[in-house]
């Protein structure tokens, strides 16, 4: 069995994992940093709406913005919501005061970050499934992984990072509890338009009886369109099928107009979108970042931005721990996460309680009640 020894092992190659690696490589001294990723990076990535602040984070990681290519950050000129009323409201006025915003090409963004990791001496291992985590008395870790074709490998590392997103796979396997507050799922598809003028760069949200719709332009001929609802509602009404997805789209008053002239609807996919919070206090040699640490409702548009900021903050904690362990560092990081999470929970409550048009809907009843009763 091949064995690798390094300083920091990051499980998960998304924006959080890559940003943590880049921060460690940039601001640490001669660290050996590796990323282990379950996939070969060929899965569907959901385009995301981000604010101008993302460029400050890119600058902190010392990446030239030109490295991302010309279409990675597409300016978003329209932000229309039909939330709580049939009249349109500019989304910036309702949800954020962050200023200019962009639609992010997640595939291009993620791959560029990983290319930067490799260019700075980091190691990226795709197609690796983690099988076992063992922590020694000194706080270091032995991690056994299996490659899809090449068998088992062992990593011995001084510090372990969970960057596996909402799955929080490492947290679950090593017994770190997570507080899950709802069962929100996103059912989405790419809608392709050919033989017509370039699509407007716009974002639209619209609430319906059983949830809400999100649409954004991904490329000049492609939109992403996602319906968010609870797992039981999606299952009962088969909204994860193409026919169920289209039927639900037709229930909207405004968003359905965006389907006019579509050439094709790609295969419908399903993604977790629940909110959660990991309880990291008391752990040594381990930290969670991004959605594995705190996951936000997509209505907040806090996904990628928080992934990067939490990764950079965690990297600072890791550098301190590798130099001179102090349990107060993890406690402070945990306190920051907790404060951020409960501020977000208050914001989410206020956003959802704006919609009162379907008092008999299970989805909206749960939001009016604060969602707490949804999770055992």
Contact 274, 182 (CB under 8 A): yes
Report residue 246: phi and psi, to 5°: -65, -40
Of 18, 8, 206, 242, the residue nearest 109 (C-alpha): 18
Q: Please count the other Cβ atoms lying within 10 Å of the Cβ belonging to residue 369.
A: 12
Packed helices 15-27 and 106-119: angle between N→C axes, nearest 10 degrees? 30
Give the per-residue pLDDT at 90.
59
In the chain, what is the straight-line distance between the N-terminal and C-terminal CA atoms, in Å? 41
Dist CA 297 CA 110 (whole Å) = 21
- Tokens for 162, please give them: 């969970």
DSSP, res 285:
S
Dist CA 237 CA 211 (whole Å) = 12
Residues in the chain with pLDDT values less than 50: 92-98, 372-376
Report the CATH fold assignment for 183-272.
Answer: D-Amino Acid Oxidase; Chain A, domain 2 (3.30.9)
Give the per-residue pLDDT at 94.
39
- Delimit the CATH 3.30.9.100 region(s) of the chain: 183-272
Give the per-residue pLDDT at 47.
59
Domain 2-50+107-181+275-349 matching CATH 2.60.40.10: the answer reads no
Give the per-residue pLDDT at 375.
45
Give the per-residue pLDDT at 46.
64
Give the per-residue pLDDT at 196.
61
Dist CA 111 CA 338 (whole Å) = 30
Is the sign of the CA dihedral 179, 306, 174, 36 positive or negative? Answer: positive
Dist CA 38 CA 338 (whole Å) = 28
Give the per-residue pLDDT at 191.
86
Give the per-residue pLDDT at 219.
67
Give the per-residue pLDDT at 373.
43
How big is the chain, counted in residues? 376
- Delimit the CATH 3.50.50.60 region(s) of the chain: 2-50+107-181+275-349
């Amino acid at each position: 069995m091949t064995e690798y020894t390094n300083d920091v092992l990051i499980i998960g190659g998304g924006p959080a994992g890559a940003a943590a690696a880049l921060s460690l490589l940039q601001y640490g001294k001669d660290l050996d940093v590796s990323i282990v990723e379950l996939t070969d990076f060929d899965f569907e990535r959901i385009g995301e709406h981000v604010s101008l602040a993302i460029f400050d984070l890119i600058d902190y990681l010392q990446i030239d913005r030109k490295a991302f290519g010309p279409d990675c950050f597409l300016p978003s000129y329209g932000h229309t919501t039909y939330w709580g009323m049939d009249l349109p409201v500019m989304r910036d006025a309702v949800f954020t005061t962050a200023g200019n915003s962009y639609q992010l090409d997640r595939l291009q963004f993620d791959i560029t970050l990983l290319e930067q990791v490799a260019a700075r001496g980091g190691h990226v291992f795709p197609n690796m499934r983690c099988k076992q985590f063992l922590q020694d008395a000194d706080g270091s870790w032995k991690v056994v992984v299996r490659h899809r074709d090449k068998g088992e490998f062992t990593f011995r590392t001084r510090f372990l990072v969970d960057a596996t997103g909402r799955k929080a796979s490492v947290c679950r396997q090593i017994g770190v509890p997570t507080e899950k507050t709802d069962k929100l799922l996103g059912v989405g598809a790419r809608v392709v338009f050919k033989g017509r003028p370039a699509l407007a760069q716009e974002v639209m949200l619209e609430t319906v009886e059983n949830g809400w719709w999100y649409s954004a332009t991904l490329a000049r001929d492609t939109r992403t369109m996602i319906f968010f609802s609870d797992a039981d509602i999606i299952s009962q009404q088969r909204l994860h099928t193409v026919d169920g997805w289209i039927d639900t789209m037709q229930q909207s008053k405004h968003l359905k107009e965006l389907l006019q002239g579509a050439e094709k609807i790609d295969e419908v996919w399903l993604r977790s979108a629940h909110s959660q919070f990991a309880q990291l206090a008391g752990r040594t040699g381990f930290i969670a970042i991004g959605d594995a640490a705190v996951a936000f409702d997509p209505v907040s548009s806090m996904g990628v931005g928080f992934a990067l900021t939490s990764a950079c903050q965690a990297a600072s904690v890791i550098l301190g721990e590798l130099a001179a362990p102090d349990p107060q560092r993890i406690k402070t990081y945990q306190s920051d996460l907790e404060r951020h999470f409960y501020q977000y929970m208050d914001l989410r409550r206020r956003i959802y309680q704006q919609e009162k048009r379907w008092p008999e809907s299970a989805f909206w009843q749960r939001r009016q009640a604060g969602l707490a009763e949804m999770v055992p």
